[in-house]
Amino acid sequence: MGAARTLSARGIVAPVPLLLTVDNLTVTLPTAQGRRAALRGVSFTLDRGATLGLVGESGCGKSLTALALMGLLPDGAAVTGSVRFDGRELTTLDDEAMGALRGNRLGMVFQEPMTALNPVHRIGDQIAESLRLHKQMNAAAARAEALRLLERVQLPRARERLDAYPHELSGGQRQRVVIAIALACGPDLLIADEPTTALDATIQREVLDLLDELRRDSGLALLLISHNLDVIAARAERMAVMYGGQIIESGPTREVFERRAHPYTRGLFAARPALGLRRGTRLATIRGRVPALHEMPHGCAFAERCDLVVAACRAAPPGEQAVSSTHAVRCIRWREEVA
Amino acid sequence: MTALMEVTALTRRYPLPRPHPLAKASTLTALDDVSFTLDAGSTLGIVGESGSGKSTLARLVMALETPSSGSVVFEGRDLHQLSRDELRAARRDFQMVFQDPYSSLDPRMRVARTVAEPLEQLEHRPAAERRERAAAMLDAVGLNAATDLDKYPHEFSGGQRQRIAIARALVTQPKLIVADEPVSALDVSVQAQVLNLMQDLQERFGLAYLFISHDLAVVDLVCDELIVLQHGRIVERGPTDTVLNAPRHAYTRRLIDAVPRPLWQP
């Protein structure tokens, strides 16, 4: 992998680098027990116009992955491995160069729109800020562009809303403003970390429709982080499941949903209530809990909770195994079914 | 079955701030003429989006707030007509579990005290006896009384904290638990554990739940009947299967349509 082949204008086959290639990304954090790895060799690729869904439970490393890509890791974090974005290595960029990319070619949308917006500034000014900074627009041009963006994200009565403060908007409207800010400079990659979790179901759908539309129209690449498997199934062609700071299964979403190669993926799916279950059904649960950073075992991080565990699982970290040409799993027992 | 609680024409209006001092005062009707009956040992689900009046209903049913009109009759007594002392004594029979197990527990209080606290208000029993009751409740919710009683909330995960909150709600042996989005803040695998626990406890103690949730798959699993609220009014009600499989109101259909569907045909 690493390069997709496409026809150039002259009809000559030439390799075009993928927009984003994350290779063996490792992040260590200082803890009370010493330095510990919170991301342990994360690798994935994402191309223009595509959506990759990243799923997993609290503490598995989803948000840390997003922060690492954005260069927003906490103080004391150390990064190894590689993040190549449009041909440039991001892990070695200095703060200034990273700052020029962030909010410009890399956009991010967080879960809670109220924390992403500044409560004392009008929303029009907050959108214009990055346009003036990154695109050197004057105030009038930035304001006009802010209005166009608010219309683009379908904020009702956009012209009046330019001068509104965040508290005057509903949750769904605020998230649209946050998306407008993230999109202001026409980013190539948008990282959306639980973008609709705080929103009502009907508004969730509208916001996800909007992201889909932007992806189709402008070739935006979307890294969609969610704990909600239904959202991933509805919106991402490819997905990756994280556990213990690693991607433990990845592939086309439909294949992952239908094959469920990793025992943790199976556990997640079984625990999820689905419409139509008989009343009073007890859901399957995953015993035990996620190991803390300082308890991370030498072998498979899921071994203590796994019904298929054998001695070899604890002896060495499982390498990546191919389920198909496009579907990979980190489990030496993936061919086994639970009795 | 007998009616444990009867809610009749419950209405709550809030005054809105006047745009200027001479403007006519206006009000927001958060809950509008809501009536229903909840049977002992059963689960009634309340669905609706933000601003639909779900949480206002919970606060009125819990007698944490006074209605503008209407009544909440619990075991034959109108809660909003009781004196302060009578209401305090009545509270042992209805308790509440909140959405966020991080903010609903006092971080400076050990688990034993947190769980036993509702008893302090009710009975003047020796501390040792209260501790025993707290220990029994921790066992009932699947925590380890021997090791967990003297810990603080920060030593537990989100799912364990929600178990502590449930143990606290159970300690007075209530007949009704009002649960406001009790699993919305939890991870999928933890959510499954808490939903199973709530169902086990219902069978064991004959609890009734007023279960508030925006998650249709969750209410489908645990609720006998559903009420759909929009703008403070009931727009649809009925047995859960009927409401979800054959919705009659356009708003209910919109809620069901908003559940994400896979990109492929399964």
Cβ pair A230:B259 closer than 8 A: yes
- N- to C-terminal Cα separation, chain B: 40
What are the CA-CA distances from residue B239 to residues B10, B61, B247 (Å)? 21, 21, 11
The DSSP line for B203-218 is: HHH--EEEEE-S-HHH
pLDDT of the residue at A266:
95
Nearest to A41 by CA among A3, A70, A68, A17: A68
Cβ pair B221:A229 closer than 8 A: no
pLDDT of the residue at B1:
55
pLDDT of the residue at A155:
87
Residue B54 has pLDDT above 60, yes or no: yes
Q: Which residues of A touch B261 (CB under 8 A)?
A: 230, 233-234
C-alpha A318/C-alpha A205 separation (Å) is 38
Tell me phi and psi for residue B180, to 5 degrees.
-100, 100
pLDDT of the residue at A149:
92
Residue percentage of chain B with pLDDT more than 70: 99
If DSSP codes are grouped into helix, strand and coil, which group holds residue A130?
helix
Cβ pair A283:B220 closer than 8 A: no
Cβ pair A200:B254 closer than 8 A: no
C-alpha A53/C-alpha A193 separation (Å) is 10
Say which of A205, A271, A276 has its CB closest to residue B188. Answer: A271
C-alpha A51/C-alpha B83 separation (Å) is 59
Q: What is the pLDDT of residues B186-216, one digit of tens each?
A: 888 888 999 999 999 999 999 999 999 989 9
CA distance to partner chain A, nearest, from residue B158 (Å): 10
* Residues on chain A bordering chain B, Cβ-to-Cβ distance under 8 angstroms: 57-58, 171, 200-205, 208, 227-231, 233-235, 237, 253-254, 257, 267-268, 271-277, 279-286, 289
Tokens of A263: 């025992």
Nearest to A190 by CA among A224, A152, A240: A224
Cβ pair A285:B189 closer than 8 A: yes
C-alpha B63/C-alpha B165 separation (Å) is 19
C-alpha B72/C-alpha B4 separation (Å) is 11
For range B217-229, the mean pLDDT: 96
Q: Which residues of B touch A282 (CB under 8 A)?
A: 196, 199
Cβ pair A58:B244 closer than 8 A: no
Tokens of B98: 């909140």
The DSSP line for A204-254 is: HHHHHHHHHHHHHHH--EEEEE-S-HHHHHHH-SEEEEEETTEEEEEEEHH
Supply the ipTM of this predicted assembly.
0.85
Residue given tokens 């009975």 in the structure block = B123
CA distance to partner chain A, nearest, from residue B74 (Å): 26
* CA B51-B53-B54 angle, 5° bins: 110
What are the CA-CA distances from residue B75 to residues A111, B14, B93, B211, B226 (Å)? 42, 28, 9, 19, 21
pLDDT of the residue at A172:
82
Instruction: Name every residue whose Cβ is closer than 8 Å to that of residue A68 and which is 6 or more positions away in sequence.
Output: A25, A27, A39, A77, A79, A83
Residue given tokens 């992955």 in the structure block = A65
For range B133-154, the mean pLDDT: 91
Q: Which residues of A touch B244 (CB under 8 A)?
A: 275
Rounded-to-5 percentages of helix, strand, coil across chain A: 35, 25, 40
pLDDT band at B247 (very low <50, low <70, confident <90, very high): very high
How confident is the prediction for chain B on average, in pLDDT? 92
CA distance to partner chain A, nearest, from residue B125 (Å): 36
pLDDT of the residue at A6:
43
Q: Least CA distance to B189: which residue of chain A?
A: A271
Average pLDDT, 10 consecutive residues per value, chain A (339 residues): 43 68 96 92 95 92 94 93 95 93 91 85 94 93 95 88 91 88 92 86 86 90 93 96 97 96 95 88 89 90 95 96 96 84
Whole-prediction pTM value?
0.88
Could you tell me which residues are beta bridge partners of residue B238? Answer: B226
Cβ pair A235:B187 closer than 8 A: no
* CA A250-A256-A260 angle, 5° bins: 110
Q: Cα-Cα-Cα-Cα dihedral of B36, B40, B42, B46, to 10°?
A: 30
Cβ pair A233:B262 closer than 8 A: yes
pLDDT of the residue at A9:
45
Cβ pair A202:B192 closer than 8 A: no
Cβ pair A201:B157 closer than 8 A: no
Tokens of A251: 């592939």
Please state whether beta strands B233-239 and B225-230 pair in parallel, antiparallel, or not at all (unpaired): antiparallel
Strand order in the sheet with A328-329: A106-109, A189-193, A221-225, A51-55, A238-243, A246-252, A328-329, A321-322
Say which of A203, A257, A275 has its CB closest to residue B244. Answer: A275
Cβ pair B187:A229 closer than 8 A: no
Q: Least CA distance to A202: which residue of chain B?
A: B258
C-alpha A162/C-alpha B241 separation (Å) is 45
* Residues on chain B bordering chain A, Cβ-to-Cβ distance under 8 angstroms: 49-50, 157-158, 187-193, 195-196, 199, 214-218, 220-224, 240-241, 244, 254-255, 257-264
- The residue among B266 and B126 whose pLDDT is bigger is B126
pLDDT band at B21 (very low <50, low <70, confident <90, very high): confident
pLDDT of the residue at A139:
94
